[in-house]
Chains A and B, each alone.
Chain A
Amino acid sequence: MDLSHISLTDAAELLRSRSLSAVELTRHFLNRIETTDPTLNAFITVDAAGALAAAEAADLRLAQGQATPLTGIPLAIKDLFCTQGLRTTCASKMLQHFVPPYESTVTRRLKAAGAVVLGKTNMDEFAMGSSNETSFFGPVRNPWDHDRTPGGSSGGSAAATAAGLCLAAIGTDTGGSIRQPAALTGTTGLKPTYGRVSRYGMIAFASSLDQAGPMTRSVADAATLLQAMAGHDPLDSTSIDAPVPDYQSGLTTSMRGMRIGIPAEYFADGLADSVRRGVEQAMETFRSLGAQCLSLSLPSTAYAIPTYYIIAPAEASSNLARYDGIRFGHRCADPQDLQEMYARSRSEGFGAEVKRRIMLGTYVLSSGYYDAYYRKAQKVRRLIADDFQSAFTQVDLLLTPTTPETAFRIGEKNSDPVQMYLSDIFTINVNLAGLPGLSLPCGFDENNLPVGVQLIGRPLQEATLLAAGHAFQQVTDWHLRRPS
């Protein structure tokens, strides 16, 4: 059996039946990382000692019959979740040597369930980017074509999952950072409803948009991970206090009679033919499963990019003000005074894209421009959210392409910020409205690069998204294809 690509359910069964130990499984992935990752660059930090210790503890728990579905399961964690005692860099020189004194709620929950953390994955610096090229630790390569990006910002998590360097990974999504790399690497990525998963201990980028979610090789695996991640957390004031349904048992919900909306704005010019074909084929598959596809309009769609690139940098400029060189993070050498220390520490510690967004955010929040940009964007954000709300009075789900094109080449867009921002065009609306979104593999283009389809649901309706995704993966095999 090829351990590298087995499902979480199969792995848990092997572990429970003791045909495989958690230490053996963990060693398998540590070896894979050692041989494959020098090419992919998916990991910033590999914690072999910590992983093996966690695997030994998992074996003990398995032997005592106290296992959860995640006990002994090796995972990769985006290097944006604070892990106590394990370096957390956010792919920035600013946090190159930062060892958090506390644990994020997401990793605490996963570890409590017995999961094994293999290491911390590469990403765009402070999650600002769509190609993983802004990482201080160098770009991640797409396992399907090493000259191309895996997308971003959770590109390391996506590449590690696609290449079988872990059983699954955790990412975060502020404007598409789980779904876009999932689409570009042929993996499954879920961004839950804003507030479904705690943000405590996630290094903040844009606090009203950030959300953590699973990146996996199947919807069933995503359901298992979300089960462990979701739930109210008093440590995050925006965490939603609502019951968490049983996602696994909800997977078998029938698609018969499900109404799926197809927003016309997502199929306009600029959509690559190969993506259009894949997504239209997915529509056909859902029809054959008994769903009904209805055309509709989300008229404010075109305004999402400018809205997002006002709101996200504004929040980022405020969040990143904490990096002052004093309490943690990079400090410049021999500053003459305090002001020089702030400015030089920040200028040396942040990369070009992060600085550009801080500048942009500072500008739109500055005196005289606040109403023209920030306030205006907050109003348009309301219109975008209203569009979705009105669509969901007619349909249960929306179906769109995840990205306008398949994986682009490393270096292709990084000289032009506007071009790069446009690659998020189909995902950022979902963050602005706070809705759950799921990206599924739905085909390949002429260069054998994966195509992704996105399903969008009502707030807190992750179970509906997962059921639809699971039904799709029962009758298609795109998610089972692997890079050579």
Chain B
Amino acid sequence: MSIDAQTVKHVATLARLQASPTEVEAYAEQLSRILTLMETLNSLPTEGVMPMSHAVDIPIPERDDVVCHTDQREALLACAADTDQGHFRVPKIIE
């Protein structure tokens, strides 16, 4: 499987990553090689096999939705790069 520059650019947009022309070229080459390795799976018949999404088959536990750890605003805002008056600040979205 070979991935072209157009596909790389599309995937980069989906992944919210920038890719310079050199990076696009490198990704195209590397991802193509990795996907070739992955295509060895096609030789293995898997019809009727149940996909395995988790290592351990346990039911997902449920709990009551109870408020805990209240008043963490300052601690959480302290992790952010830009805050203002108790809020996260981001570039203007609406003109």
Residues of A at under 8 Å CB distance from B?
98-101, 193-195, 208-209, 234, 237-238, 240, 300, 302-303, 305-307, 309-310, 317, 321, 324-331, 335-344, 346-347, 350, 355-356, 358-360, 362-364, 366, 373, 375-383, 385, 417-418, 421, 431-434, 459
Q: Which residue of B lies closest to A374 (CB)?
A: B51
B56 & A331 in contact (Cβ 8 Å cutoff) = no
CA distance A237 to B90 in the complex (A): 33
Residues in A whose Cβ lies below 8 Å from that of B67: none
* A341→B81 CA distance, assembly (Å): 12
Residues of chain A contacted by B63 (CB below 8 angstroms):
234
The answer to whether B86 has its CB under 8 Å from any CB of chain A is no
Give chain A residues whose Cβ lies under 8 Å from the Cβ of B81: 325-326, 329-331
Smallest distance from the beta carbon of A437 to chain B beta carbons, Å? 12
Q: Which residue of B lies closest to A377 (CB)?
A: B41
B3 at the interface (CB under 8 A from A): yes
Set of chain A residues within 8 Å of B41, measured between Cβ atoms:
303, 306-307, 310, 376-377, 380
> Are A366 and B11 touching (Cβ within 8 A)?
yes
Known: A359-B27, A417-B34. A382 touches B51 (CB 8 A): yes
Q: B53 touching A208 by the CB < 8 A rule?
A: yes
Do B17 and A355 have beta carbons less than 8 Å apart?
A: yes
Measured CA separation A339–B88 after assembly (Å): 16
CB distance from A336 to the nearest CB of B (A): 7
Q: Which of B18, B38, B51 contacts A373 (CB 8 A)?
A: B38
A340 contact set on B, CB distance < 8 A: 91
- With A209-B55, A356-B27 known as contacts, the answer to whether A337 contacts B11 (CB < 8 A) is no
CB <8 Å contact, B52 and A378: yes
B binding-site residues for A, Cβ under 8 Å = 3, 7-8, 11-12, 14-19, 27, 30-31, 33-35, 37-42, 44, 46, 49-56, 58, 60-61, 63, 72, 75-76, 78-82, 88, 90-93
A331 CB contact (under 8 Å) in B3, B58, B82: B82
Between A and B, 9 residue pairs with Cβ closer than 8 Å are A101-B76, A310-B38, A326-B90, A327-B88, A339-B16, A342-B16, A363-B35, A382-B49, A383-B44
- Closest chain-A Cβ to B38's Cβ sits at a distance in Å of 4
The one of A209, A309, A344 that contacts B38, using a Cβ cutoff of 8 Å: A309
Q: Contacts of B31 on A, CB cut-off 8 Å? A: 356, 359-360, 363
B2 to chain A, nearest CB (A): 13
| Given A309-B37, A350-B17, 17 extra CB contacts under 8 A | A98-B79, A306-B38, A309-B34, A309-B38, A327-B88, A343-B17, A346-B16, A366-B14, A378-B51, A378-B52, A378-B53, A380-B44, A382-B52, A383-B44, A383-B49, A385-B55, A418-B37
A54 to chain B, nearest CB (A): 21
B30 cross-chain contacts in A, Cβ below 8 A? 356, 417
B18 pairs with A385, CB closer than 8 A: no
Q: Which chain B residues border A306 with CB–CB below 8 Å?
A: 37-41
Q: Which residues of the partner chain B approach A329 to less than 8 Å between Cβ atoms?
A: 81
Closest CB of chain A to B28's CB: distance in Å?
10
Residues from chain B with Cβ under 8 Å of A303 in the complex: 40-41, 44
Q: Is the CB of A327 within 8 A of B79?
A: yes
Contacts of A337 in B (CB 8 A): 91-93
